[in-house]
Structure 1
Amino acid sequence: MDFIDRLCDSVNSIQNLPINCSLGYLLPKECLVLYPLPGGQVEREFYDGIKDQVLNYEFSMKSQDQLAIQRTLWLIQSHLEELSSLNSDDGSFDFGEIKISNKPYINNEDEQGYYIFILDIQAAITTFPRKDK
């Protein structure tokens, strides 16, 4: 399923986004990342293998500039709140909606003076079984 990839692409399409988003966990340097969180659920499953799911994701940004982090994550939040469509490249999902679980907040400051802020979301999607089974 390519949902997380398409979500990352959508965020990277935001005009004036000061840093590109990548998939994975935080790096030792300034970065903006997206990764899945536990707690996703299948809300409804059909006999043909189609599933309505709610999945949890987190955007995390690390920088020594708190203002830049705040501006970036609020820009992403605004984009996601207005997102009405997201298309799968491989036909593995249909997009429903994104809800903001937690608005941007500070999570940590490390020994090198980097701040870490987080934005949590829930995505409602419908997934389709793989055709190559």
Structure 2
Amino acid sequence: MDLIERLSDKINSIDLPQIMIIGQLSEDSDFGFYSQPGSQVISQDWSGIQERLLPFEVALRTDDIELGNNTLWKISELLDSTNSLETDGTYEFNKINIEPQPFLAMIDVANKGIFLLDFNVEITQQINLGD
């Protein structure tokens, strides 16, 4: 499943202060996108078709508080208006749920703000039930 790559491509297609990488914040990267624990099956039918909810987070570390806030709001608005997503065919994109809106999570020891945007992506996927 290529969901995280497709979402990353979509987010990086807008005007951002820097390229967002797939991965956690690190010494080398101040702008990351990653999956969160806690995915869940919303429903499943007898043929193995599942509705799943997958949690993700965008994180940006910056000393420019206004830039951080504006960047994550821009991403939030993009995702909120996303109605379709090209996929590799292993799943079908349904919708994105953003909760809460972007927020300043903390200010670190280097006086940089860490902004977060949490959201869930709902997909439909055929799973193999075995024989």
Report the TM-score when normalising by structure 1.
0.88
Greater strand proportion: 1
Deviation at 1:93, TM superposition (A): 1.3
Deviations 1:17-62 (A, max 9, x none): 2221111110225622111112221111233433110111111111
Aligned partner of 1:120 among 115, 118, 121: 118
Partner of 2:6: 6
Structure 2 runs not aligned, ≥5 long: none
Q: Give TM-score scaled by structure 2 length.
A: 0.89
Matches of 1:19 and 1:121 in 2, distance apart?
A: 21
Match of 1:107 among 105, 108, 127: 105
The 1:11/1:118 distance shift into structure 2, 3 A limit, reads same
Higher mean alpha-carbon deviation, 39-48 vs 59-68, is at 39-48
* Aligned alpha-carbon RMSD (Å): 1.5
4+ residue segments displaced more than 6 Å = none
2:8 aligned counterpart, secondary structure: helix
Q: What is the alpha-carbon distance in structure 1 between the residues aligned to residue 108 and residue 80 of structure 2?
A: 30
Percentage identity across aligned positions? Answer: 34
Question: How far apart, CA to CA, are the structure 2 residues paired with 1:6 and 1:105?
Answer: 24
User: How many pairs are equivalent?
Assistant: 128
Q: Match of 2:35?
A: 36
> How does 1:1-133 map onto structure 2 within 5 Å?
1-14=1-14, 16-28=15-27, 31-88=30-87, 90-129=88-127
> Could you say what secondary structure the match of 1:117 adopts?
strand
Counterpart CA distance in 1 for 2:126 and 2:113 is 39
